[in-house]
Amino acid sequence: MNRLDALRGTTPQKPHDARAIAALAANPGCTRRALLDGAGIDKDAAARHLGFPAPFGQSPFAITRGNAFEALVKADGCAELLRMLRELLGLPIAEVAYHDVENVGAHLRHAHTRALFDRAARDGDDAGTVYDHPLLSVGIAGHTAYLEPDVVAFQLGGRFHIVEIKSFAVIDGQADPSAVAAAARQAAVYVLALRRMLAELGHDPLRVAHDVVLVCPENFANRPVATLVDVRRQLGVLERQLARMTALDRLLDGLPEELTFDLLPGEDGLPTRPAAELADALRRATARYAPDCLATCDLCFFCRDEARQEGATDLLGRHVRDELGGVGSVGEALGLADGARAPAEGQEEIARLLRNAERLRRECLA
Ligand code: SF4
């Protein structure tokens, strides 16, 4: 059994979906998360068992609303989508065909998707097709994850564009930045998967555009609006993170041989392992908590509690933590600021800045 399988133990492997892979790019510095995801451990089940369930999961109302919006955008062979693509990408409607990959049945969908994209890439400029329900794949730490983009559009001029349909509203041209960032990370996973597929088939992977088409409802009405979102930065982080996942051996090297995150599920599938023991095991793998974890990782409440107990500067966000470079706890920072603590080697500059900040604060309050 390899070390990752041993980390998972008897817990069934949780397949990665695009949302989970996208979240890897949200906190690339976290060893705990890299190990849990690399081993395919169900973080949601672990968080529940630890008594720190995450606030994720959409309400039934939001799911129904999202499905209805997607159905509207894709109705009549993606007619509404084609209207938007025509404006946004200059797709001439006369040249566009609609292809629903789902028609072949789930078991053949991946092979059929590959064959269709291979043919489209060979046909060149004349293959103006919108592909609905394609099935892509990406390798993660030795396993294959299957991914379903909402749509992939192929533009005349030889470029593929990923289309991501989301039901959060764009109001007066503005959408919630965190929702857009999450959609961009997810779309970047599809861009990466499609680029890898094209490369395997011997085509230029850069024929998949780094601009993805984000479709959202406008001004709370159901009328969809499409915008282009550049996902180059997300792609870069994702590539690095996936490379790191294939080199997990280095992260495992620093951990005790017998360490396992096994939940020891019973016959009913529920964990039987003592929660305190699991918590101790998780604490052996270094976390890098940041407030963004609250939107992206199932273990967020557990890690936040740990950071609070340690008085870690992580709680203040990545920007502050990085500014405090090397000062790990709030207590340490306060001690350096008021002079109660002497700076360690290499901390002289940050101690000087903290003392200045403390002096300015006192002057303001005086
Ligand atoms: S919640 Fe914890 S495990 Fe998840 S990414 Fe943040 S620090 Fe890492």
Q: How far apart are CA 154 and CA 97, in angstroms?
A: 10
How many Cα atoms sit within 13 Å of 225 on the Cβ side?
Answer: 14
Cβ atoms of 159 and 219 within 8 Å: the answer is no
- As a whole number of angstroms, the distance between CA 341 and CA 319 comes to 23
Nearest CA, atom 3, ligand 1: 33
Identify the residue whose C-alpha is closest to ligand 1 atom 2. Answer: 303
How far apart (Å, rounded) are the C-alpha atoms in residues 77 and 50? 46
Check if 32 has its Cβ closer than 6 Å to any atom of ligand 1.
Answer: yes
* pLDDT at residue 173 in the model: 82
Four-way CATH pick for 60-242: 3.40.50, 1.25.40, 3.90.320, 1.20.950 = 3.90.320
- Beta carbons within 8 Å of 275's beta carbon, 6+ residues apart: 49, 50, 51
Res 126: pLDDT: 56
Q: At CA 242, angle to CA 241 and CA 243, rounded to 5?
A: 90
**Backbone φ, ψ for residue 90 (5° rounding):** 75, 30
pLDDT (tens digit, 9 = 90+) per residue, 32-64?
A: 998 898 888 999 999 999 999 987 766 778 788
Q: Measured between alpha carbons, how far is 116 from 183 in angstroms, rounded to an integer?
A: 26
Please indicate whether residue 27, judged by its CB atom, sits closer than 6 Å to ligand 1: yes
pLDDT at 14: 86
What is the longest distance spanned by two Cα atoms in the chain?
Answer: 75
Tokens for 226, please give them.
């499409």
Q: How far is the CA of 80 from the centre of ligand 1 (A)?
A: 39
- Residue 33 near ligand 1, beta carbon < 6 Å: yes
Strand order in the sheet with 129-132: 97-100, 129-132, 151-155, 159-165, 211-217, 224-230
pLDDT of residue 242: 85
For the Cβ of 293 lying below 6 angstroms from any atom of ligand 1, the answer is: yes
- What is the SS3 assignment for 7? helix
What pLDDT score was predicted for residue 346? Answer: 80
Could you tell which of 43, 298, 300 is best to mutate to test the pocket of ligand 1, judged by most ligand atoms within 8 Å of the CB?
Answer: 300
**Ramachandran assignment for 97, one of left (phi > 0), alpha (psi -120 to 50 degrees), beta (any other):** beta
Ligand 1 atom nearest to CA at 36: 3
What are the boundaries of each domain within the chain?
Answer: 60-242
294 CA from centroid of ligand 1 (Å): 9
Tokens representing 84? Answer: 């938007």
| pLDDT beneath 70: ranges in the chain | 1, 57-58, 93-95, 105-107, 124-128, 156
Place of tokens 């349909």: 165
Per-residue model confidence (pLDDT) at position 282: 95
Give the pLDDT score at 171.
87
